[in-house]
Protein backbone atom coordinates (compact mmCIF):
# COMPACT_ATOMS: atom_id res chain seq x y z
CA UNK A 1 0.00 0.00 0.00
CA UNK A 2 1.35 3.38 -0.98
CA UNK A 3 1.90 5.72 1.95
CA UNK A 4 1.51 9.45 1.49
CA UNK A 5 4.58 10.47 3.50
CA UNK A 6 3.86 14.20 3.16
CA UNK A 7 0.33 13.76 4.55
CA UNK A 8 1.61 11.55 7.34
CA UNK A 9 4.23 14.12 8.37
CA UNK A 10 1.58 16.83 8.27
CA UNK A 11 -0.59 14.79 10.66
CA UNK A 12 2.38 14.22 12.99
CA UNK A 13 3.16 17.94 13.03
CA UNK A 14 -0.48 18.71 13.81
CA UNK A 15 -0.50 16.44 16.84
CA UNK A 16 2.84 17.81 18.05
CA UNK A 17 1.41 21.32 17.84
CA UNK A 18 -1.79 20.24 19.58
CA UNK A 19 0.25 18.65 22.36
CA UNK A 20 2.32 21.81 22.79
CA UNK A 21 -0.80 23.96 22.94
CA UNK A 22 -2.40 21.68 25.53
CA UNK A 23 0.76 21.85 27.58
CA UNK A 24 0.93 25.65 27.43
CA UNK A 25 -2.72 26.24 28.23
CA UNK A 26 -2.70 23.49 30.83
CA UNK A 27 0.15 25.01 32.83
CA UNK A 28 -0.77 26.04 36.33
CA UNK A 29 -0.60 29.68 37.25
CA UNK A 30 2.19 30.32 39.74
CA UNK A 31 1.13 32.41 42.71
CA UNK A 32 3.44 33.66 45.45
CA UNK A 33 1.71 34.45 48.74
CA UNK A 34 3.83 36.59 51.04
CA UNK A 35 2.91 36.47 54.75
CA UNK A 36 4.50 39.69 56.02
CA UNK A 37 6.92 40.03 58.93
CA UNK A 38 7.89 36.91 60.95
CA UNK A 39 10.44 35.94 63.58
CA UNK A 40 11.64 38.94 65.58
CA UNK A 41 9.57 41.22 63.33
CA UNK A 42 6.16 40.96 64.97
CA UNK A 43 4.40 43.46 62.75
CA UNK A 44 1.46 45.24 64.29
CA UNK A 45 0.39 44.25 67.83
CA UNK A 46 -3.27 44.60 68.62
CA UNK A 47 -6.01 43.85 71.10
CA UNK A 48 -5.08 41.06 73.51
CA UNK A 49 -1.49 41.08 72.22
CA UNK A 50 -2.61 39.61 68.90
CA UNK A 51 0.31 39.75 66.43
CA UNK A 52 0.17 40.54 62.74
CA UNK A 53 2.88 38.03 61.83
CA UNK A 54 0.78 35.15 63.23
CA UNK A 55 -2.48 36.13 61.55
CA UNK A 56 -1.03 36.51 58.07
CA UNK A 57 0.87 33.22 58.29
CA UNK A 58 -2.34 31.41 59.28
CA UNK A 59 -4.18 32.96 56.34
CA UNK A 60 -1.39 32.13 53.88
CA UNK A 61 -1.21 28.48 54.99
CA UNK A 62 -4.98 28.17 54.82
CA UNK A 63 -5.00 29.57 51.27
CA UNK A 64 -2.42 26.91 50.41
CA UNK A 65 -4.56 24.17 51.98
CA UNK A 66 -7.81 25.31 50.37
CA UNK A 67 -6.17 25.38 46.95
CA UNK A 68 -5.41 21.68 47.42
CA UNK A 69 -8.64 20.54 49.03
CA UNK A 70 -11.25 22.69 47.29
CA UNK A 71 -9.62 23.59 43.99
CA UNK A 72 -7.74 20.32 43.51
CA UNK A 73 -4.37 22.12 43.25
CA UNK A 74 -5.58 24.38 40.47
CA UNK A 75 -2.75 26.82 41.17
CA UNK A 76 0.91 26.34 42.04
CA UNK A 77 1.05 28.34 45.25
CA UNK A 78 4.28 29.11 47.07
CA UNK A 79 4.70 30.96 50.36
CA UNK A 80 7.63 33.25 51.10
CA UNK A 81 7.68 31.73 54.59
CA UNK A 82 6.06 28.60 56.00
CA UNK A 83 6.82 29.19 59.67
CA UNK A 84 7.63 31.91 62.16
CA UNK A 85 10.88 33.08 60.65
CA UNK A 86 12.07 36.41 59.31
CA UNK A 87 12.65 36.47 55.55
CA UNK A 88 14.31 39.53 54.05
CA UNK A 89 12.28 41.68 51.69
CA UNK A 90 14.86 41.01 49.00
CA UNK A 91 14.46 37.24 49.34
CA UNK A 92 10.68 37.55 49.16
CA UNK A 93 10.98 39.43 45.90
CA UNK A 94 13.65 37.07 44.55
CA UNK A 95 11.40 34.08 45.14
CA UNK A 96 8.69 35.58 42.95
CA UNK A 97 11.24 36.40 40.27
CA UNK A 98 12.95 33.01 40.30
CA UNK A 99 9.63 31.19 40.08
CA UNK A 100 8.48 33.52 37.29
CA UNK A 101 5.33 34.08 39.29
CA UNK A 102 2.11 35.04 37.56
CA UNK A 103 0.87 36.85 40.68
CA UNK A 104 2.34 38.17 43.91
CA UNK A 105 0.08 38.78 46.93
CA UNK A 106 1.51 40.15 50.17
CA UNK A 107 -0.56 39.72 53.35
CA UNK A 108 -0.57 42.22 56.22
CA UNK A 109 -2.78 43.59 58.99
CA UNK A 110 -3.40 47.22 59.82
CA UNK A 111 -3.07 49.13 63.08
CA UNK A 112 -4.49 52.52 63.94
CA UNK A 113 -7.15 53.88 66.25
CA UNK A 114 -9.61 51.45 67.79
CA UNK A 115 -12.38 52.78 65.54
CA UNK A 116 -10.54 52.12 62.26
CA UNK A 117 -11.73 48.98 60.52
CA UNK A 118 -11.92 47.23 57.18
CA UNK A 119 -9.66 45.95 54.45
CA UNK A 120 -7.60 47.99 52.04
CA UNK A 121 -5.43 47.15 49.07
CA UNK A 122 -2.11 48.67 48.04
CA UNK A 123 -0.68 48.85 44.52
CA UNK A 124 2.68 50.26 43.50
CA UNK A 125 2.45 53.89 42.46
CA UNK A 126 4.14 53.61 39.06
CA UNK A 127 3.25 53.81 35.41
CA UNK A 128 3.78 50.15 34.59
CA UNK A 129 1.91 47.70 32.32
CA UNK A 130 1.18 45.58 35.40
CA UNK A 131 -0.40 48.43 37.35
CA UNK A 132 -3.89 47.98 35.90
CA UNK A 133 -3.84 44.16 36.29
CA UNK A 134 -2.60 44.64 39.86
CA UNK A 135 -5.50 46.98 40.55
CA UNK A 136 -7.96 44.48 39.09
CA UNK A 137 -6.46 41.69 41.18
CA UNK A 138 -6.69 43.76 44.35
CA UNK A 139 -10.27 44.80 43.61
CA UNK A 140 -11.29 41.20 42.93
CA UNK A 141 -10.02 40.11 46.35
CA UNK A 142 -11.37 43.19 48.12
CA UNK A 143 -14.83 42.76 46.62
CA UNK A 144 -14.96 39.09 47.58
CA UNK A 145 -14.01 39.83 51.18
CA UNK A 146 -16.37 42.81 51.51
CA UNK A 147 -19.32 41.03 49.87
CA UNK A 148 -19.13 37.73 51.71
CA UNK A 149 -17.57 38.63 55.06
CA UNK A 150 -19.09 42.07 55.60
CA UNK A 151 -15.70 43.74 55.92
CA UNK A 152 -15.64 47.43 55.16
CA UNK A 153 -13.93 48.00 51.80
CA UNK A 154 -11.41 50.80 52.27
CA UNK A 155 -10.50 50.79 48.60
CA UNK A 156 -7.36 50.83 46.49
CA UNK A 157 -4.36 52.90 47.59
CA UNK A 158 -0.96 53.47 46.06
CA UNK A 159 2.37 53.09 47.78
CA UNK A 160 6.06 52.46 47.19
CA UNK A 161 6.34 49.38 49.41
CA UNK A 162 9.53 47.41 48.68
CA UNK A 163 7.83 44.14 47.75
CA UNK A 164 5.52 45.96 45.34
CA UNK A 165 8.25 48.13 43.87
CA UNK A 166 10.39 45.14 42.91
CA UNK A 167 7.68 42.75 41.73
CA UNK A 168 5.47 45.06 39.64
CA UNK A 169 7.82 44.83 36.66
CA UNK A 170 7.52 41.04 36.65
CA UNK A 171 3.87 40.31 37.43
CA UNK A 172 0.68 41.82 38.85
CA UNK A 173 1.28 42.36 42.56
CA UNK A 174 -0.77 43.65 45.45
CA UNK A 175 -0.45 44.12 49.19
CA UNK A 176 -3.52 43.38 51.30
CA UNK A 177 -4.16 44.98 54.68
CA UNK A 178 -6.64 42.35 55.82
CA UNK A 179 -8.07 44.30 58.74
CA UNK A 180 -7.15 46.15 61.93
CA UNK A 181 -5.68 44.24 64.85
CA UNK A 182 -6.34 47.38 66.92
CA UNK A 183 -10.08 47.13 66.30
CA UNK A 184 -11.67 45.00 68.98
CA UNK A 185 -14.15 43.34 66.62
CA UNK A 186 -11.63 42.53 63.91
CA UNK A 187 -9.02 41.37 66.43
CA UNK A 188 -11.56 38.94 67.91
CA UNK A 189 -12.51 37.88 64.38
CA UNK A 190 -8.90 36.90 63.64
CA UNK A 191 -8.71 34.75 66.76
CA UNK A 192 -11.30 32.24 65.53
CA UNK A 193 -10.02 29.43 63.23
CA UNK A 194 -13.29 29.32 61.28
CA UNK A 195 -12.94 33.01 60.50
CA UNK A 196 -9.38 32.50 59.28
CA UNK A 197 -10.73 29.82 56.93
CA UNK A 198 -13.48 32.12 55.67
CA UNK A 199 -11.05 34.99 55.10
CA UNK A 200 -8.55 32.71 53.35
CA UNK A 201 -11.28 31.31 51.10
CA UNK A 202 -12.38 34.83 50.14
CA UNK A 203 -8.79 35.73 49.23
CA UNK A 204 -8.40 32.54 47.18
CA UNK A 205 -11.71 33.02 45.36
CA UNK A 206 -10.79 36.63 44.67
CA UNK A 207 -7.60 35.38 42.99
CA UNK A 208 -9.56 32.68 41.15
CA UNK A 209 -12.09 35.20 39.84
CA UNK A 210 -9.31 37.49 38.64
CA UNK A 211 -7.57 34.69 36.75
The whole-number mean pLDDT for each consecutive block of 10 residues of the chain, a chain of 211 residues, reads: 43 49 66 98 96 98 97 96 98 98 98 92 94 97 95 95 97 98 96 97 97 94
Please check whether residue 12 is in contact with residue 4, taking contact to mean a CB–CB distance below 8 angstroms: no
The H or E element spanning position 76 is: strand 76-79
The H or E element spanning position 106 is: strand 103-110
Please check whether residue 31 is in contact with residue 75, taking contact to mean a CB–CB distance below 8 angstroms: yes
Count of CB atoms situated within 10 Å of the CB of 162? 14
* Separation CA 120–CA 177 (nearest Å): 5
Say if pTM beats, i.e. exceeds, 0.75.
Answer: yes
Q: Which CATH architecture has domain 28-210?
A: 3-Layer(aba) Sandwich (3.40)
* Separation CA 91–CA 80 (nearest Å): 8
Q: What residue spans define the domains of the chain?
A: 28-210
Which pLDDT belongs to residue 13?
53
Which pLDDT belongs to residue 114?
86
Residue 101: C-alpha distances to residues 73, 74, 92, 104, 164 (Å): 16, 15, 12, 7, 13
Which pLDDT belongs to residue 23?
44
Active site residue 52: no
Which pLDDT belongs to residue 26?
61
Which of the following is catalytic: 52, 62, 120, 177? 177
Amino acid sequence: MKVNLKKKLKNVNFWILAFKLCFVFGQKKIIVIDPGHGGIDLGAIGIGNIQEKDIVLKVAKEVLRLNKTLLNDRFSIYLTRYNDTLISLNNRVNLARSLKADLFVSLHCNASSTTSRGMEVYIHNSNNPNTEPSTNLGLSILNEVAKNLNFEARGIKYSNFYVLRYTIAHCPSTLLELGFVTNVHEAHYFLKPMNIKALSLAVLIGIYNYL
